[in-house]
Amino acid sequence: MDSRNDVSEFLRSRRAKVTPEQVNLIVGANRRVPGLRREEVATLASVSVDYYARLERGNLTGVSDEVLESIAHALKLDDAETAHLFDLARAAQPGPARRRRAATPAQQIRPSLQRFMDAITGAPTWVRNERMDLITANPLGRALFSPLFADPVRPVNNARFVFLNPESRNFYIDWEQGANDIVATLRSYAGRQPHNKGLSDLVGELATRSEEFRTRWAAHNVRFHRTGIKRMHHPVVGDLELSYEAMELPANPGWTMFAYTAEPGSASDERLKLLASWAATTASELAAPASISD
């Protein structure tokens, strides 16, 4: 991951998305660019054209928070995009030579965390890291995501499953949106941790093996993954529509817990209960994930 190139492509791509009408600029009819020009962004951000051009060439060294806020406002960045811009700027600041974070051995799952998750019997729950490796899950979570566990590649990884396993298109009903969300989330993490070797290795693998991933990665979209709806076609109980909530685990930086629930009384609620019964009878076959990388 080339941080200067990431800065340049991110700013260019955001500039191309903002129309003059969105920022109340009056322009002529023969305009050739789809979005804003550099000089228009510079004017809106109250910086010189030369200074903004330097930023867009990927040089964020020494840029102040005030200027970043002005650029974010001019480009109409949302919260995730603004956070990403600040992450890119922090990574660009001079300091001691940064080492690429090596892929670390499997982290120990605290027994208290596993007990807590296992105590949640009515909601599929799992924990993943910033690479999308599945760290652990409760029995219902392992049952819900049994197609991921069926893939022999370890560690169990949702991004790898989506882009490299054809079965993912059957499992995730809204595959296109899910694929977009995964790449945008990985982009956010990569901006925050440009020297994370495990993350960059995964991105390199997916970019090499999947055109779908490569195209999405080049779009430089970012997003927060906090709450939403997932629609899945489970091979045992059929279609499910579940709401999810994401909770970061401060004791394990980079780990996020996801819990899924169904609307009470809905068809998905009944199927989730059926899945729980199925999970209880097949618990011994749904082994916990092994060899998880951070």
Q: Which domain holds residue 255?
A: 111-285
Phi, psi of 259 (to 5 degrees): -125, 135
Q: 10 Å Cβ neighbour count for 153? A: 11
Mean pLDDT for 12-28 is: 87
pLDDT of residue 103: 40
* Of 12-21, 31-40, 249-258, 271-280, the least confident: 31-40
User: Do residue 138 and residue 87 come from a single domain?
Assistant: no
CATH code at 52? 1.10.260.40
pLDDT tens digits, residue range 231-260? 999 999 999 999 999 999 999 999 999 999
**pTM reported for the whole predicted model:** 0.85
Question: Number of H helices and number of E strands within the chain?
Answer: 14, 5
pLDDT of residue 164: 97
Task: Say how far apart CA 231 and CA 229 lie, in whole Å.
Answer: 7
> How confident is the model over 189-199, as pLDDT tens digits?
999 888 889 99
Statement to judge: residues 133 and 248 lie in one domain: yes
End-to-end CA distance of the chain: 18
Q: Is residue 77 part of a domain?
A: yes
Are 171 and 272 found together in one domain?
A: yes
* Residues 201 and 120 occupy one common structural domain: yes
Cα gap 125→60, rounded to integer Å: 40
Distance separating alpha carbons of residues 61 and 89, to the nearest angstrom: 7
The answer to whether residues 76 and 174 belong to one domain is no
Shared-domain flag, residues 133 and 270:
yes
Contact 199, 131 (CB under 8 A): yes
118 or 288, greater pLDDT: 118
Is the previous residue joined to 105 through a cis bond, with omega within 30 degrees of 0?
no
DSSP E strand boundaries for 27-162: 125-128, 134-137
- Compute the half-sphere exposure of residue 117: CA atoms within 13 Å on the CB side of its CA: 25
* Domain total of the chain: 2
DSSP state of 18: -
The 3-state DSSP class for residue 94 equals coil
- 129 with 229, same domain: the answer is yes
The C-alpha atoms of residue 14 and residue 221 are separated, in whole angstroms, by 9
Same domain membership, residue 119 and residue 82? no
Answer whether residue 99 is part of any domain.
Answer: no
